[in-house]
Amino acid sequence: MPFDSPRHDWTKPEITDLYTQPLDALVAQALEVKRANWPDGALQKSQLLSIKTGGCPEDCGYCSQSAHFDTGLGAEKLMPLAAVVEAARRAKANGADRFCMGAGWRSLKDRDVPKVAAMISAVKAEGLETCVTLGMLEDGQAETLKQAGLDYYNHNLDTSPEYYPTVVSTRTYADRLETLAKAREAGVKLCVGGILGMGEGRDDRIGLIHELSKLTPHPESVPINMLVPIKGTPLGDSPAISVTEMARAIATCRIVFPKSWVRLSAGREGMSEGEQALCLLAGANSIFVGDRLLTTDNPGEDRDQALLDAVGFEASSHDAMEIAHKTTLIDAR
């Protein structure tokens, strides 16, 4: 198969065949694709900050920030600019190359656009790649964020279209796709993935990857999250998904999205060093660092460095990795 040519005609049976093959064959194929497109032994560190926490009117069954559930998390106001900049500087000092800002909103209000745009510009000025997740977008908002220096807009599909209504009732799958289209039309890169372990079946995990594969062009960033159960949410008692299933999803994404970042995202706090290593070997080339991931715990700096030492990986910038990525493709030709 052509490892440097993303396909937009994947069928669900084809992705099923990839996902369900013996794990050694799947990981071997994913590594072949990764080595044809990305530098060996390098990954990008991203950090995520909640710039506005709690009080969200959505009923996403996994989320501690929903006003529908009693999770003990109160609603807070939007962080001041200076606090966001200070957090970005700390993240960069700790090796992060990408800084993501998330707000517990159903949608971005026009009155908040100038404040968020100022945060994006300030973080960009610190030399960091920028990403935001702010809920649904209205016409013209993505263009303003792009002008402020926004690189990526995160808006996950979460799961398959069939299972989605089990998880969320206040926002449709079509709503999510519409917001992604608005960001794409404004020239903003997309960060779109999902959450595993919400009670869905393997067919739903495959269905999520199939839906992502239909986006043209593919999302430049595909985060794969393991559910972190939150007490008080409808999914708070969900049984844990196996790490091998996470590795299958990551490896399949690496094959289907050869040029995209595949990010090992939420859930690392509950994984052992070996389990995280398996996910990296399956094709992930980015992790989220810092003690917190929005409102849930995340491994600290010491554990992250121990992980990188164990697998022999080094943190690298997006520029360096993407330049190496392009050089690899030229050399291969």
63, 248, 253, 268: the catalytic one is: 63
The H-or-E segment that residue 272 falls in is none
98, 254, 263, 268: the catalytic one is: 263
CATH of 12-332, one of 3.20.20.70, 3.20.80.10, 3.40.50.12780, 2.40.50.100: 3.20.20.70
User: Count of CB atoms within 10 A of residue 220's CB?
Assistant: 17
Pair of tokens at residue 331: 């050399």
DSSP summary character for residue 78: P
Q: Is 253 a catalytic residue?
A: no
Q: Rounded distance, CA 195 to CA 157, Å?
A: 9
Q: Is 100 a catalytic residue?
A: yes
State the pLDDT at residue 290. Answer: 66
Q: What is the pLDDT along the chain (333 residues), one digit of tens a residue?
A: 445 678 889 999 999 999 999 999 999 999 999 999 999 988 999 998 999 887 788 888 788 777 777 777 677 789 999 999 999 999 998 888 999 999 888 888 999 999 999 999 999 999 999 999 999 999 999 999 999 999 999 999 999 999 999 999 998 999 999 999 999 999 999 999 999 999 999 999 999 999 999 999 999 999 999 998 888 888 888 888 999 999 999 999 999 999 999 999 888 888 888 999 999 999 999 988 865 554 555 556 778 888 888 888 988 888 888 876 555 444 444
Q: What is the pTM of this model?
A: 0.90
State the pLDDT at residue 329. Answer: 46
106, 111, 131, 202: the catalytic one is: 131
State the pLDDT at residue 163. Answer: 96
Is the bond leading into 22 cis (omega within 30 degrees of zero)?
Answer: no
Q: Rounded distance, CA 311 to CA 308, Å?
A: 5
Q: Rounded distance, CA 132 to CA 333, Å?
A: 36
Question: Look-up: residue for tokens 């960009």?
Answer: 124
Let me know: does 136 contact 108? Beta carbons within 8 Å. Answer: yes
Q: Is 60 a catalytic residue?
A: yes
What amino acid is encoded at 193 in this protein?
A: G
Let me know: does 13 contact 204? Beta carbons within 8 Å. Answer: no
State the pLDDT at residue 332. Answer: 42
Q: Rounded distance, CA 278 to CA 305, Å?
A: 16
Beta bridge partners of 136: 107
171, 176, 191, 279: the catalytic one is: 191
Closest CA to 129 of 209, 44, 68, 72: 44
Q: Identify the three-state secondary structure at position 89.
A: helix
Q: What residue ranges do the domains of the chain occupy?
A: 12-332
Provide the Cα torsion 59, 298, 222, 238; round to 10°: -50
Pair of tokens at residue 149: 């220096």
Closest CA to 42 of 317, 326, 260: 317
DSSP annotation string for 150-192 = --EEE---BS-TTTHHHH-SSS-HHHHHHHHHHHHHTT-EEE-
Q: Is 56 a catalytic residue?
A: yes
State the pLDDT at residue 333. Answer: 41
Beta bridge partners of 42: 314
Beta bridge partners of 132: 101, 153
Q: Is 279 a catalytic residue?
A: no
Let me know: does 204 contact 162? Beta carbons within 8 Å. Answer: yes
Let me know: does 85 contact 122? Beta carbons within 8 Å. Answer: yes
State the pLDDT at residue 3. Answer: 56
98, 100, 176, 205: the catalytic one is: 100
